């Protein structure tokens, strides 16, 4: 894990890092107080302390999975048994083939768990853990969408530590150590390949998050060729999901910081410039590469400046109605941004200006609604099976996602959540 402050080695032990996260300039001393201009500049540059962490190694290149054994050699080292976590769709479409071939040609043993489903239930994680233990896994690879990567993170942690899954829920409760971990996305959306976050489903519909530094991978690999065959609807929903990550990171109330801001702006710019081309011409190499990199940059941003009410209100849509995560975020983005504008108008105006739009919340919302219309995804809750009678339950469940709501720039209430759902019913 790469960080601006103390971090952990692979085995979970604390190690000393150069402490550069608390950059400060002291108020002007007597020697410059006679010059008011110098004094004012110095005092204005006092920086609030912040931490920033990300994956220590990122490799990006078309066709990278065909060279996976070589790229991953520093992580794999002398280990021989590689466990891949994925879903049946990824396997059936042959997206594993080049990775497996590369690993086996290097003399490594490979086993595959392809039972991951969207919003993976706890039982799926435990099934993957059991299979990995029986195989004697020494390295875990998550290759697929966010659900596959989230599951792989937890499998590596469960095999490497003595913690139970239930003891990991929440923030900084998972302590590690874990097995070596490599993450390879096949969609441009979640950014899970560079986040310390895993989200699973508990019971019928409750989404439970695990957020802790050991979930950062040792290596993230971007291979845009894995995304060439993505359906238009998936490209659109996951792409807007990534844009939501950038927008919410930029307006995060508690941990917003200059590094995350820069990444959010860069990621949003790439995604905005590529999403329509990627949806309309799915094999366009530049658009696919820009989408994948934009999603990674947005992932790095929100991993350090967490998301807020858009995600909190989207979670019940996935848990109760099994609406794909990206589409859930796309549906809830416009009403939440309008609600937040009272507190975040200047920040939304900055984002809109960065994209060449009218400098306002309305300008940003209008553009996101235009993109949703152009790429042809649903824009109303009624289109995904939600009725007015469902709204109270959705609002109540959203208000339970306190770990995200605290990051929202404006306090979200039960009534406000209801109003946001009603606005897009």
Q: What pTM did the predictor assign?
A: 0.88
pLDDT in tens, 329-375: 999 999 999 999 999 999 999 999 999 999 999 999 999 999 999 99
Domain with CATH 3.40.50.1970 in the chain: 58-226
Q: Are 197 and 303 in contact (CB under 8 A)?
A: yes
Cis bond before residue 177 (omega within 30° of 0)? yes
Rounded CA Rg of the chain:
22
Q: List, by residue range, all CATH 1.20.1090.10 domains of the chain.
A: 231-423
pLDDT tens digits for 117-163?
988 999 999 999 999 999 999 999 999 999 999 999 999 999 999 99
CA distance 238 to 334: 16
| CATH number given to 231-423 | 1.20.1090.10
Element (H, E) at 75: helix 73-76
What CATH architecture is 58-226? 3-Layer(aba) Sandwich (3.40)
DSSP conformation class of 346? H
Pick from 94-108, 176-190, 201-215, 325-339: least confident = 201-215
What does the pLDDT average to over 166-177? 93
Cα 148 from Cα 185, distance rounded (Å): 9
> Quick count: other Cβ atoms within 10 Å of Cβ 45?
11
Pairing of strands 81-85, 109-113: parallel
CA triple 254-260-262, angle to 5 deg:
135
CA nearest 351: which of 341, 342, 278? 341
Cβ-in-10-Å burial (0-12, 13-18, 19+) of 30 comes to: exposed
Asked whether the beta carbons of 376 and 234 are under 8 A apart, the reply is: no
């Amino acid at each position: 894990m790469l960080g601006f402050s103390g971090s952990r080695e692979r085995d979970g032990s604390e190690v000393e890092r150069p402490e550069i996260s608390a950059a400060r300039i002291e108020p002007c001393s007597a020697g410059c107080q006679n010059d008011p201009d110098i004094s004012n500049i110095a005092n204005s540059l006092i920086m609030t302390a912040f931490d920033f962490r990300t994956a220590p190694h990122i490799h990006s290149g078309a066709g990278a999975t065909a060279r996976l054994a070589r790229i991953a050699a520093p992580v794999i080292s002398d280990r021989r048994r590689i466990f891949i976590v994925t879903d049946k769709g990824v396997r059936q479409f042959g997206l594993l083939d080049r990775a497996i071939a590369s690993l086996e040609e290097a003399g490594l043993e490979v086993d595959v768990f392809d039972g991951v489903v969207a919003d993976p239930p706890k039982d799926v994680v435990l099934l993957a853990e059991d299979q990995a233990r029986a195989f004697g896994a020494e390295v875990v690879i998550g290759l697929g969408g966010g659900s596959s990567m989230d599951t792989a993170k937890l499998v590596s942690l469960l095999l490497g530590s003595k913690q139970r899954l239930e003891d990991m829920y929440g923030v900084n409760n998972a302590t590690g150590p874990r097995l070596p971990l490599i993450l390879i996305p096949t969609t441009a959306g979640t950014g899970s390949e560079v986040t310390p976050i895993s989200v699973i489903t508990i019971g019928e519909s409750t989404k439970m998050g695990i957020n802790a530094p050991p979930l950062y991978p040792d290596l993230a690999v971007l291979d845009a060729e894995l995304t060439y065959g993505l359906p238009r609807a998936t490209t659109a929903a996951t792409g807007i999901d990534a844009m939501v990550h950038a927008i919410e990171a930029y307006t995060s109330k508690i941990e917003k910081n200059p590094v995350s801001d820069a990444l959010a702006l860069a990621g949003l710019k790439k995604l905005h410039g590529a999403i329509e081309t990627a949806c309309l011409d799915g094999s366009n190499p530049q658009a696919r590469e820009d989408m994948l990199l934009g999603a990674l940059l947005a992932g790095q941003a929100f991993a350090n400046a967490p998301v807020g009410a858009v995600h909190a209100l989207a979670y019940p849509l996935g848990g109760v109605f099994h609406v794909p995560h990206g589409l859930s975020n796309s549906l809830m983005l416009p009403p939440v941004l309008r609600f937040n504008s009272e507190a975040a108008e200047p920040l939304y105006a900055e984002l809109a200006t960065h994209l060449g739009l009218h400098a306002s919340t309305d300008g940003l919302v209008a553009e996101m609604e235009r993109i949703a219309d152009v790429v042809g995804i649903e824009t109303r809750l009624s289109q995904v099976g939600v009725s007015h009678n469902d709204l109270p339950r959705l609002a109540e469940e959203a208000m339970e996602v306190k770990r995200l709501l605290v990051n929202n720039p404006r306090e979200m209430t039960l009534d406000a959540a209801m109003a946001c759902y009603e606005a897009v019913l």
